[in-house]
């Protein structure tokens, strides 16, 4: 590893602004492409053109390195390749591939620089390029930050185009026909005489050719897949129980393990009494692992039961034991020495808010669990020359490093068989379960060990969304908002998360303030400051990371100020908007919802706008205040991602994001008592069920010139739009989630 | 202990208190049925016992009576059940982990009522949790499946 890569390796840059300190790299290091991992063990007659396409005489395989946790990116990645390769769904297989620097994420730089996504000026774009170079040097392969489509959009179409033109060259050599007489469709080169040569028939010749480079991409008007409804490649498997998730994998000779680790996360194990567990049926072994105890058995349920039969003596939590003290820490963190960054300071809020009638309010956002429905699990098999891992994970290369650091193997000796994931929402960015499975497998070299968490263990070690507190001030004049000043205090989720991988995150954490400073409003006086509270309970990125908290604070504060001004919530947001794409999004939401039209008795309508991951999203929520509580009737969503790959999957993801945002805002939080999370299963952290689910009407605009991801951006506006609607219907302001602490829901 | 799953009889040697879920998954290798919560909160483990939707995580082997059907017995990729067909047509699944249970609950509902009201659909299907939030599509798919059943 070169010096530059070592510098980059030590400090994690995503979501922090350390890049502003300046790291320079030689052009050679950056311009050199990583090796194609598919070329390492090619069989005779097998052709690969780039890291995403491999063809032999039997089949075409498309590599889809971004992990699929439900977003449908196996299909979307394959569609991008297939669009240019002229091959249809059903004519190829897919594989997640092996972890490789070749799959470095070209889009993670967008969130990693301290510039608004709407800022496309020279400095911002330059910093994105520099940050992109760092990520390339790191070979940072990852799925997160709604980057799968931005990362893949150009490079996977190029991969398909390169493969197609090389296959045409092979067909030309085979037939003696000039290339310009050859066409491609249906996974074959079409000859002028009406016959065809399947790509699989051409693999042998293609394998001897240098891939054709610099193939121009097709005009979007010629697309036959992109932008049209697709049948997801996993949809039949997921509708028939025939698709395997990590938890379903069986490896020959496998044993079943479960663990119980100190629920006071990070606390030690003082001692344990395994006597009752050891004599239970099917239990093979019980032993200590880092921070807790592992049970190895012949069946998952028996391993669970044995874990429950052990008596544990846990050490104290390395953070305040009681929830009230977590909040107290935040209230004490609005101090100059903890100022992480002043992210925005337009005008002179200090002066304007020094006198006159000042509006003030305080907001809170709790810890919330990811709780994907498939509990964390991993199979690990340790042998002398290699380690194999079967699990679904978002960070394949880091996973290799984590495993190798425990087993003593080289990183490349760790083989990851990545799997479809039964949800993640950020949970499968974590490595604790991987470390534990590896520790257990080290004790049982040569035997595959499948670790499965109980749901209770999963909740206890969820690494929830961070808590956050906002203090807002503002001023209105002549029916207009003239000043908004939001301060926020929270522990840094990126620091907590990356700290578990021994990375330091110096400098401001842009995710602390995401959703609050970056909204493209032009308000005469607009200040946003983030204070970095000391680390409390360990936390991890939760679908949309900083924006579900900071976006809730900012948009709620803005809504309150608009009400103070006596202005219309939609009209005033549109008036203040200083970004064409975003204004169009608001106007579209207004049109969709017939904003301003009469509602029935006890009904209310609220709007929120939050930009996250480069996607402006406006949501209008309509509620009815019934005798049984608040009922959410309808939600209208307008957003702009530049290009929609699959409109059906897109709508599904937006609806799901709204459900995720609303459900948790209504009823979910993790609280700590005696150092442990008080919520252990879904009955205490339910989020939304079908009876509460409104009708959700979605419109995806395509005015932006950059393609964006839609996995996360629909989440942040849901909570403030609901709170604003409830205010409109009842006059009651909700400034703290979950809302059901303050108002009943149907 | 004897049990019949998807028309096949199996003999298993397990504790009487082992839940059916784990007999299916770990003893018989039938993995379409999922573990989500273990306390009948999420519905991912839903199977049919004599045609009725049951949370298999709460069904002790000692109490099991009747024919068990899992998602694998409902239909296959080549021969989809009418409910599964609706799930594919509406592109319901995101992560898909809950969908086996959702489909088993919907099939059981439609078996006794092929014209459920919106309220009836919500009431029954609310026992199945979907963390991805595919509820709008589940609703639409249940209605399509009901209509197809009625016209079948």
Which residues of B fall within a CB distance of 8 Å from A375?
35-36
Strand pairing partners for A603?
A: A624
| Interface contact flag, A242 B72, Cβ < 8 Å | yes
Query: Within a 10 A sphere around the Cβ of A35, how many other Cβ atoms?
Result: 12
The verdict on a CB contact (< 8 Å) between A256 and B26 is yes
Distance CA B144, CA B152 (A): 12
How confident is the model at residue A31, as a pLDDT? 55
Residues of A in contact with B102 (CB under 8 A): none
A182 contacts A131 by C-beta, under 8 angstroms: no
CA distance A584 to A600: 27
Distance CA A169, CA A197 (A): 12
Measured between beta carbons, the chain B residues lying within 8 angstroms of A691 are 122-123, 126
A235 vs B93: CB contact, 8 Å cut-off? yes
Residue A240 to residue B71, Cβ atoms within 8 A: yes
Confidence of residue A2 (pLDDT cuts 50, 70, 90): very low
From residue B21, alpha-carbon distances to A16, A79, A167, B56 in Å are: 45, 37, 49, 5
Q: Kindly identify which residue of chain A lies nearest to residue B32, measuring between CA atoms.
A: A241
Q: What is the band of B111 on the pLDDT scale with cuts at 50, 70, 90? A: very high
Mutation target to probe the B interface, by most B beta carbons within 10 A, among A233, A241, A379, A692 is: A241
Average pLDDT, chain A: 93
B140 touching chain A per CB within 8 A: no
**Does residue A675 contact residue A267 with C-beta atoms inside 8 Å?**
yes
Of B22, B37, B123, the CB nearest to A300: B22
Residue with tokens 């049982």: A444
Nearest to A691 among B36, B76, B126 (CB): B126
Q: Smallest Cβ distance to A455: which of B36, B80, B88?
A: B36
Question: Does the distance separating the beta carbons of B135 and A690 come in below 8 Å?
Answer: yes
Inform me whether the C-beta atom of residue B22 falls under 8 Å from chain A C-beta atoms: yes
How far is Cα A177 from Cα A230, in angstroms, rounded to an integer? Answer: 35
Contact across the interface for B131 and A371, Cβ inside 8 Å: yes
pLDDT at position A32, please? 63
The residue of chain A nearest to residue B25, with distances taken between CA atoms, is: A248
Find the residue in B nearest to A649 (Cα). Answer: B91
Shortest Cα–Cα distance, B149 to chain A (Å): 18
Q: Which residues of A touch B82 (CB under 8 A)?
A: none
Alpha-carbon dihedral sign for residues A260, A262, A268, A271: negative
Using CA coordinates, name the residue in chain B closest to A231: B91
**B36 chain-A contacts, CB cut-off 8 A:** 373-375, 455, 682
- Terminal-to-terminal C-alpha distance of chain A: 58
Q: A70 and B138: CB-CB below 8 Å?
A: no
pLDDT digits (tens, 9 = 90+) for A401-423: 999 999 999 999 999 999 999 99
What would the two tokens of residue A227 be? 């932008």
pLDDT at A64 over 80: yes
Q: Report the C-alpha gap between A615 and A549 in whole angstroms.
A: 17
Cross-chain residue pair B34–A374, CB shorter than 8 Å:
yes
Residue A199 scores a pLDDT above 70: yes
**CB-CB neighbors (< 8 A) of A683 in chain B:** 39, 41
Chain A touched by B138 (CB under 8 Å): yes
Residues in B 43-102 with any Cβ partner in A closer than 8 A: 44, 70-72, 74-77, 80, 84, 87-88, 91-100
Q: Report whether pLDDT(A496) > 50.
A: yes
Check residue A25 and give its pLDDT: 35
The yes-or-no verdict on residue A23 having pLDDT over 60 is no
Query: Which range among A44-53, A85-94, A412-421, B24-33 shows the weakest confidence by mean pLDDT?
Result: A44-53
3-state helix, strand, coil in chain B (%, to 5): 45, 15, 45
Quick one: closest CA in B to A377, which residue? B35
Position A14 pLDDT exceeds 90: no
How far is it, in rounded angstroms, from Cα B20 to Cα A724? 46
The reply to whether residue A248 touches residue B137, judged by beta carbons under 8 angstroms, is: no
Among A721, A716, A695, A714, smallest CA distance to A605 is for A721
- Whether B144 shows a pLDDT value over 50: the answer reads yes
Is a pLDDT exceeding 70 seen at residue A306? yes
**Chain B residues closer than 8 Å to A255 by CB:** none
pLDDT at A4 exceeding the cut of 60? no
Poorest-pLDDT segment among A65-79, A123-137, A684-698, B76-90: A123-137
Choose the mutation target among A74, A240, A679 for the interface with B, i.e. most B CBs under 10 Å. Answer: A240
What order do you get walking across the sheet with A414-418 strand by strand? Answer: A283-289, A292-297, A255-261, A449-452, A377-382, A387-391, A414-418
CA-nearest residue of chain A to B18?
A301
Q: Do B135 and A659 touch (CB under 8 A)?
A: yes
Closest Cβ opposite residue B131 in set A244, A423, A693: A423
Res. A10: pLDDT tops 70: no
Number of CB pairs, chain A paired with chain B, less than 8 A apart = 182
Q: Which tens digits make up the pLDDT trace of A217-258?
A: 999 999 999 999 999 999 999 999 999 999 999 999 999 999
Q: What letter would DSSP give residue A684?
A: G
Nearest residue to A487 via CA among A335, A665, A354: A335
**Chain A residues within 8 A of B103 when measuring between CB atoms:** 239
């Amino acid at each position: 590893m070169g010096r530059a890569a070592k510098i980059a390796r030590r400090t994690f840059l995503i979501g922090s602004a350390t890049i502003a300190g300046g790291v320079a790299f030689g052009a050679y290091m950056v311009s050199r492409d990583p090796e194609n991992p598919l070329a390492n063990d090619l069989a005779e007659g097998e052709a690969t053109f780039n890291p995403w396409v491999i063809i032999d005489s039997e089949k075409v395989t498309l590599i889809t390195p971004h992990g699929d946790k439900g977003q449908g990116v196996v299909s979307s990645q394959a569609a991008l390749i297939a669009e240019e390769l002229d091959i249809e769904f059903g004519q190829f297989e897919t594989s997640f591939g092996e972890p490789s620097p070749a799959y470095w994420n070209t889009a993670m730089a967008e969130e990693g620089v301290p510039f608004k996504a709407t800022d496309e000026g020279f400095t911002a774009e330059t910093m994105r390029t520099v940050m992109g170079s760092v990520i390339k040097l790191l070979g940072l392969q990852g799925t997160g930050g709604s980057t799968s489509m931005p990362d893949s959009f150009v490079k996977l179409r190029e991969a398909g185009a390169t493969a197609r033109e090389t296959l045409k060259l092979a067909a030309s050599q085979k037939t003696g026909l000039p290339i310009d007489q050859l066409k491609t469709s249906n996974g074959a080169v079409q000859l002028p005489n009406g016959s065809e040569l399947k790509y699989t028939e051409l693999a042998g010749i293609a394998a001897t050719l240098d891939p054709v480079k610099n193939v121009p991409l097709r005009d979007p008007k010629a697309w036959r897949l992109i932008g049209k409804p697709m049948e997801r490649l996993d949809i039949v498997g997921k509708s028939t129980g025939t698709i395997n998730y990590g938890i379903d994998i069986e490896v020959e000779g496998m044993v079943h393990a479960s663990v119980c680790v100190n629920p006071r996360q990070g606390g030690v194990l003082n001692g344990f009494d395994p006597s009752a567990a050891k004599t239970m049926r099917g239990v093979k072994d019980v032993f200590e692992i880092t921070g807790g105890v592992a049970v190895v058995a012949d069946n998952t349920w028996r391993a669970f039961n044995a874990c429950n039969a052990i008596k544990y003596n846990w050490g104290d939590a390395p953070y305040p034991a009681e929830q009230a003290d977590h909040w107290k820490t935040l209230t004490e963190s609005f101090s100059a020495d903890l100022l992480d960054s002043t992210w925005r300071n337009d005008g002179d809020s200090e002066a304007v808010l020094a006198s006159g009638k000042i509006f003030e309010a305080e907001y809170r956002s709790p810890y919330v669990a990811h709780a994907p429905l498939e509990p964390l699990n991993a199979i690990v098999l340790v042998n002398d020359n290699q380690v194999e891992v079967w699990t679904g994970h978002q960070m394949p290369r880091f996973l290799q490093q984590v495993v190798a650091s425990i087993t003593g193997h080289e990183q490349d000796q760790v083989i990851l068989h990545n799997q479809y994931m039964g949800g993640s929402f950020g949970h499968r960015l974590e490595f604790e379960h991987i470390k534990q499975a590896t520790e257990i497998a080290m004790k049982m070299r040569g035997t595959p060990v499948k670790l499965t968490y109980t749901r209770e263990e999963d909740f206890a070690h969820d690494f929830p969304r961070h808590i956050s507190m906002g203090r807002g001030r503002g001023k209105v004049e002549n029916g207009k908002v003239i000043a908004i000043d939001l301060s926020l205090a929270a522990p840094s989720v990126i620091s907590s998360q990356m700290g578990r991988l021994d990375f330091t995150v110096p400098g401001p954490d842009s995710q602390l303030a995401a959703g609050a400073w970056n909204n493209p409003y032009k308000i005469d006086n607009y200040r946003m400051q983030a204070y970095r509270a000391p680390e409390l309970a360990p936390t991890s990125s939760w679908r949309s990371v900083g924006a579900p908290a900071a976006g809730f604070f900012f948009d709620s504060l803005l809504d309150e100020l608009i009400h103070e001004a006596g202005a219309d919530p939609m009209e005033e947001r549109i008036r203040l908007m200083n970004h064409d794409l975003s204004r169009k999004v608001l106007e579209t939401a207004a049109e969709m919802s017939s904003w301003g039209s009469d509602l029935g008795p006890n009904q209310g309508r609220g709007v929120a706008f939050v930009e996250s991951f480069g996607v402006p999203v406006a949501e209008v929520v309509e509620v009815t205040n019934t005798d049984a509580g608040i009922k959410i009737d309808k939600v209208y969503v307008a957003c702009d991602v530049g290009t929609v790959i699959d409109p059906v999957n897109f709508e599904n993801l937006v609806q799901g994001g709204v459900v995720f945002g609303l459900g948790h805002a209504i009823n979910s939080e993790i609280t700590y008592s005696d150092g442990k999370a008080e919520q252990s299963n879904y009955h205490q952290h339910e989020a939304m069920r079908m009876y509460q689910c409104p009708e959700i009407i979605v419109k995806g605009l395509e005015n932006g010139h950059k393609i964006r991801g839609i996995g996360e951006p629909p989440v942040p506006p849901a909570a403030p739009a609901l709170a604003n609607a409830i205010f409109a219907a009842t006059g009651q302001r909700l400034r703290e989630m979950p809302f059901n602490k303050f108002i009943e829901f149907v | 202990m004897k049990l019949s799953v998807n028309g096949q009889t199996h003999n298993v040697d397990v504790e009487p208190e082992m839940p059916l879920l784990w007999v299916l998954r770990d003893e018989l290798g039938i993995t379409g049925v999922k573990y989500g919560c273990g306390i009948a909160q999420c519905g991912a483990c839903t199977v049919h016992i004599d045609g009725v939707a049951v949370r298999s995580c709460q069904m002790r082997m000692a109490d099991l009576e009747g024919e068990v059907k899992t998602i694998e017995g409902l239909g296959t990729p080549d021969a989809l059940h009418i409910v599964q067909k609706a799930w594919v047509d509406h592109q319901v699944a995101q992560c898909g982990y809950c969908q086996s249970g959702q489909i088993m609950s919907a099939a059981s509902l439609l078996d006794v009522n092929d014209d459920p009201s919106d309220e009836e659909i919500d009431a029954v299907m609310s026992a199945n949790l979907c963390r991805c939030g595919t509820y709008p599509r589940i609703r639409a798919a249940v209605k399509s499946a009901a209509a197809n059943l009625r016209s079948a």
